[in-house]
Amino acid sequence: MINKYQIPYFAHTKLDNIRAKYEGYIKYVSDELDRMPTQSTIANHHAALKLILTEAVSRGWASTDLLPVLKSVGKQTTRRPTFEISEYRSLIQKLKHWSQQKSHRHKDTEIRLMLYDYVLFLANSGIRHGREAMEIKWSNISFEKSQKDNMMLLPLLLQSEKAEKPPKSAVPLLSDITTLATLKRFLSVLKTAAHSFNQCH
């Protein structure tokens, strides 16, 4: 973000002219994206820009009086549509049937089962697809009972490993039975793979 947008736009701009230059920044980003950015995108741009400007002030290169007022503008983020319960059940049933179909390659069967488990785990835990899911390790997971509503919680330690004591982020399990069964199946597959590997070596 800094290298792609802010350095090219603010290049050769003196710090005492940064406020005036900022007035055209959102339009510049819009032109580069070929669309109006969302409020969350602009907020990310502002966060990066604020770090740079704060550093400039701390080094005595600029005065806070000369810094721009970062405007919270942009297109309102629209909520992504969700599955209806009937749609979710239909998806899971068909995915389960698909995962159990025979394949010529054993690897394809394993991938199908893994995808089925992956979808179940995400759907029943609320964990987001992508980096959040891919960074989870067994050491990140434990199970606790919520003191308020007796719901199963999945505390996750997803902060940087550099932190001495990263805080836990408790994710409620929408269906603790399904999630527990999925995790047990994951563990069983891993143990089988480890056993096969040890026999081959």
pLDDT digits (tens, 9 = 90+) for 26-59: 889 889 988 888 888 888 888 888 888 888 888 8
Cβ atoms of residues 176 and 182 within 8 Å = no
Decide if pLDDT at 158 tops 90: no
In 3D space, the residue among 25, 26, 18 whose CA is nearest the CA of residue 64 turns out to be 18
Decide if pLDDT at 75 tops 90: no
Decide if pLDDT at 148 tops 50: yes
**Three-state secondary-structure class, residue 170:** strand
- Output the pLDDT for position 162: 43
Cβ atoms of residues 139 and 187 within 8 Å = no
- pTM of structure: 0.46
Separation between Cα atoms, residue 49 and residue 47, nearest integer Å = 5
Cβ atoms of residues 98 and 112 within 8 Å = yes
Indicate the pLDDT class of residue 94, thresholds 50, 70 and 90.
Answer: very high
Q: Tell me which range, 74-83, 122-131, 192-201, is most confidently predicted by mean pLDDT.
A: 122-131
- Output the pLDDT for position 174: 46
Count Cβ atoms within 10 A of the Cβ of residue 125 and give its class: 0-12 exposed, 13-18 middle, 19 or more buried: buried
Q: Where are the domains of the chain?
A: 2-66, 85-186
The CA dihedral of 105, 111, 112, 116, to the nearest 10 degrees, is 160
- Output the pLDDT for position 77: 62
